[in-house]
Amino acid sequence: MTKVLPADAAGIREAAATLAAGGLVAFPTETVYGLGGDALSTAAVARIFAAKGRPAEDPLIVHLADLADLPRVTGALSPQAALLAGRLWPGPLTLVLPRGPAVPHSVTAGRETVAVRLPAHPVARALIAAAGTPVAAPSANRFGHTSPTSAAHVLADLGGRIDLVLDGGPATIGVESTVLDLSGPVPTLLRPGGVSLETLRELLGEVALGGRAAEAGGQIAPGLLDRHYAPESALHLCVGAPAACRGWIRAQAARQIAAGRRVGLLVPDEDAALLAGLAADIEPLGPAGDPAAIAGRLYAALRALDARRPDVILARDIGDVGIARAILDRLTRAAAGRVSILTPSERRATQ
C-alpha cells in the first residue's frame, strides 16, 4: 500500500529515509510530480522502471539539491553549462551533460551523457538534500500516460506500486522541464518546457531545434517518443489560426456526434464559450492569452476530461512562443500522429 504524507518536515524526513533505503517516493516539483529513487543505486533505478512500466531505452533525469552536488554526476562544466546553471538553476531546465562514473548506465539508457536538473520546488530540494544522494525522477505516472500535477494523479496511476507520496499540493508550472543538450557542438533544444527557447537564445545565441527520437538504441533524453503524455481517449489536435481551428473543431465534433460518438473538447475559455452549443463535453483550459495558466492546468484538465471517457478528444494549439511551444509539444505527442495542420486554403474553408 502506498503511504501519503504531507510535505512537512516530518513527511520529508520519512520520505528521505525511504529513498536512502532504496525505496520509491513521489514528490512535488515546480513542473510535475516526480517518481524518485536513488540515482546511484542500480536496484532503486530498476524499481523506477518497473513501477512505471518504462522501457529501458528511455533515460531518467537526475535531480540535485545544490550546485555543489554536480561533481557527483558529471565532470567539469563547459562555459555554456556553467552560464546556464548560474542563471537558470534552480528552475525548470534540464541539461544533458557528460555522464559521471558513479551514474549507472541504466539511468542514461546506456549513453555516456546524463540529464541533470536542480529543481526550484523547496520540498523537492529539501527531500533530495535530506536523502543525501542525487535522485533519479521521471514523472510519477504510468509510462506514456498523462503526467501528474497532484498527489491524487500519482495515486491514480501508481497507487500500490510505490512506497510513498509526498503531497505538496498542485504543481505550478504544470509541464515538464526544458531539456537542452549540451553534449554536441551546438546547444540543441530537445524538449520545450518551463524555460523558453527565446530565453535560451538570449543567453547562448545559437540554439538548434531537436526533439526526434533515436531510431534505435537508448534515447539521449526523456520525452522524445512520438506517443507520450497521452490520455486513454483518442486525442486529435488542430494546428493553425485560432478561428480556423475553432471551425475545424466544430466540424469534427459535429461529424463525431452524428456518428453516435461522445466528444470531449479541451479548449481555451474563449473557444468553450463559442462552442457551447455543441453536444460535447467541454473542459476549459483558461484564457488563450495566458499560456502560463493553460500550461498549469493542461494535465489536470486532460485527466479530468479523460476520466469522463469520451470516445474522442479535440484540441487546438495556442501558438509556439514561450511556454506555448511546450503546450504544443505535449499535445502533439499526446495525439500520437492525429494532428491536422491547416493549410491557408483549409483555414479559409473552415472560417
Model pTM? 0.96
Q: What are the CA-CA distances from residue 13 to residues 5, 18, 318 (Å)?
A: 11, 9, 41
Is it true that 3-209 and 234-350 share their CATH fold?
Answer: no
CA gap 266, 301 in Å, rounded = 8
Residue 162: which of 339, 320, 5, 322 has the closest Cα? 5
Measured CA angle at 300 (ends 298, 306), to 5 deg: 100
* 291-307 vs 323-335: helix crossing angle, rounded to 10: 20
Pairing label, strands 34-38, 61-63: unpaired
CATH ID of 3-209, from 3.40.50.2000, 3.90.870.10, 3.20.20.70, 1.10.357.10 = 3.90.870.10
What pLDDT is attached to residue 349?
39
pLDDT at 20: 97
The burial of 198, by beta-carbon neighbours within 10 Å (0-12 exposed, 13-18 middle, 19 or more buried), is given as exposed
Distance, CA of 37 to CA of 44 (rounded, Å) = 5
Which cell numbers in the block locate residue 320?
509556439
Separation CA 75–CA 100 (nearest Å): 6
* Residue ranges of domains in the chain: 3-209, 234-350
pLDDT at 344: 59
Q: For the chain, list residues with pLDDT below 70.
A: 344-351
Q: For domain 234-350, which architecture applies? A: 3-Layer(aba) Sandwich (3.40)
Contact 227, 333 (CB under 8 A): yes
Q: Which amino acid is at 343?
A: T
H runs (alpha helix) in 148-264: 151-158, 197-204, 242-258
**What is the per-residue pLDDT for 211?**
85
Q: Can you count the helices (H) and strands (E) in the chain?
A: 11, 16
What's the one-letter identity of residue 216?
Answer: A
Residues facing 282 on adjacent strands: 265
Q: In 3D, which of 219, 187, 196, 197 has the Cα closest to residue 78? A: 187
The residue whose grid cell reads 512537512 is 8
Phi, psi of 142 (to 5 degrees): -60, 145
Sheet holding 263-267, edge to edge: 281-284, 263-267, 312-316, 234-239, 339-341
What is the enclosing helix (H) or strand (E) of 122?
A: helix 122-131
